[in-house]
């Protein structure tokens, strides 16, 4: 009997081991799922990719515009809610919208009179905001179809998106190959790694344009959230949001967030920069910029307990309080996108840098590699 039972037990153990390994493999494969999101007017199928980490945090990304469509994060009671503005359908993203969740470029933010001079050549870009260019033109990276590829990462589920931007697309010189890797780390971070190369001298400034509301409800305003920005200075702008070229101290202004401050307490101040933008929409000059990733800002929602920290290797960050959202657009679940119901913290080089010699350079040349890393880390307290 023993000689029969022993092999049987070995076989059963191996069977359970194989089942367990198969179950674990299936679980790993479930960390990224893919579904059809819609079809463009030109007939191209667009997909929605869902990444889930070991904490059950979940992000959905579409290859249209490399857009973060939703991001589900737990509150202090471990209740998950979507904390980024977006739409339920591809059709809504194709229509004009405020860049919800998109990768914007080639040059995020604004360029004065939609032009710049490089190596003695002046390039006229497409002016899509009056005489200026905003976020890459009429059909910037937010309107392009990216190639998506699931990749392996020890940090957590990762999705790589690539796009080839043709020479003189929206007026920019050089054939540009750009990639963005979204990783939902098991440390509860949404990590964004950028990389690009060009075959002609060009300029490049990329960011993600997600709109956050840490309360988990877009019926709430973000005015009670607490913000910290590690910046002693900012780049003042004119009434068209074009930088003057100066760097000014935040001290004794409503732009001083060197200590955590409730966003709504000073937003309606009579300060000229706030009047121009109808609230916060300025570029802060981050302290200790040296090209390495470091903590730059944080947001805390005391009601939900959600805490978001932003790490970046960029010299600037644009803080925007959704001043021009007016409820006309209906977001996910039909909820109106109202004024100040979300905020952006866009890591970047400074607006209009190519037209200001004293700003950090955004020039990319053949043989050089553009890289950037930004991390949004989530926790509760």
Give catalytic residue positions: 209, 346
Longest distance between any two alpha carbons in the chain, whole Å: 91
Answer for the pair 263, 223: CB distance below 8 angstroms, yes or no. Answer: yes
The rounded distance, in Å, linking the Cα atoms of 26 and 66 is 26
Residues 6+ apart with CB under 8 A from 343: 211, 212, 213, 222, 225, 227, 263, 280, 299, 319, 320, 321, 322
The rounded distance, in Å, linking the Cα atoms of 380 and 309 is 11
| Kind of pairing between the strands at 189-198 and 370-380 | antiparallel
Dig out the tokens for 225 from the structure: 């959230």
Dig out the tokens for 339 from the structure: 């004024």
The rounded distance, in Å, linking the Cα atoms of 372 and 228 is 22
Q: What is the DSSP letter of 237?
A: B
Answer for the pair 376, 308: CB distance below 8 angstroms, yes or no. Answer: yes
Q: What are phi and psi of 380, to 5 degrees?
A: -135, 160
Q: How many CB atoms lie within 10 A of CB 111?
A: 28
Helix, strand, coil % in the chain, rounded to nearest 5: 15, 40, 45
Answer for the pair 136, 107: CB distance below 8 angstroms, yes or no. Answer: yes
| Sign of the C-alpha dihedral computed for residues 139, 140, 142 and 144 taken in this order | positive
Dig out the tokens for 6 from the structure: 């022993």
């Amino acid at each position: 009997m023993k000689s029969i039972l022993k092999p049987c037990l070995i076989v059963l153990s191996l069977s359970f081991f194989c089942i367990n390994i198969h179950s674990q493999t299936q679980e790993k494969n479930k960390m990224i799922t893919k579904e059809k999101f819609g079809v463009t007017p030109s007939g191209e199928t667009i997909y929605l990719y869902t990444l889930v980490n070991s904490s059950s945090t979940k992000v959905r990304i579409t290859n249209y515009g490399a857009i973060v469509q939703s991001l589900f994060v737990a509150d202090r009671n471990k209740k998950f809610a979507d904390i980024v503005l977006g739409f339920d359908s591809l059709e809504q993203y194709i229509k004009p919208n405020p860049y919800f969740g998109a990768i914007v470029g080639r040059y995020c933010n604004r360029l004065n009179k939609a032009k710049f001079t490089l190596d003695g050549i002046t390039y006229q870009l497409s002016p899509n905001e009056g005489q200026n260019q905003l976020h890459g033109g009429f059909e910037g990276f937010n309107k392009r179809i990216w190639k998506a590829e699931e990749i392996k990462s020890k940090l957590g589920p990762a999705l790589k998106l690539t796009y080839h931007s043709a020479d003189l697309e929206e007026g920019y010189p050089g054939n540009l190959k750009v990639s963005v890797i979204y990783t939902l780390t098991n440390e509860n971070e949404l990590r964004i790694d950028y990389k690009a190369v060009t075959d002609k001298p060009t300029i490049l400034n990329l960011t993600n344009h997600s709109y956050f509301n840490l309360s988990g409800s877009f019926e709430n305003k973000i005015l009670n959230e607490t913000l910290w920005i590690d910046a002693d200075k900012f780049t003042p702008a004119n009434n068209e949001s074009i930088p003057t070229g100066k760097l000014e101290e935040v001290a004794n202004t409503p732009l001083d967030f060197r200590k955590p401050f409730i966003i709504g307490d000073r937003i309606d101040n009579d300060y000229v920069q706030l009047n121009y933008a109808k609230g916060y929409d300025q570029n802060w000059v981050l302290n200790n910029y040296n090209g390495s990733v470091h903590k730059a800002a944080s947001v805390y929602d005391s009601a939900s307990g959600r805490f978001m920290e932003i790490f970046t290797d960029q010299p600037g960050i644009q803080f925007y309080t959704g001043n021009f959202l007016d409820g006309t657009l209906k977001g996910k679940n039909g909820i109106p996108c109202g004024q100040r119901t979300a905020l952006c913290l866009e890591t970047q080089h400074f607006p209009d840098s190519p037209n200001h010699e004293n700003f950090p350079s955004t020039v990319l040349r053949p043989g050089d590699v553009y890289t950037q890393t930004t991390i949004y880390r989530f926790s509760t307290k």
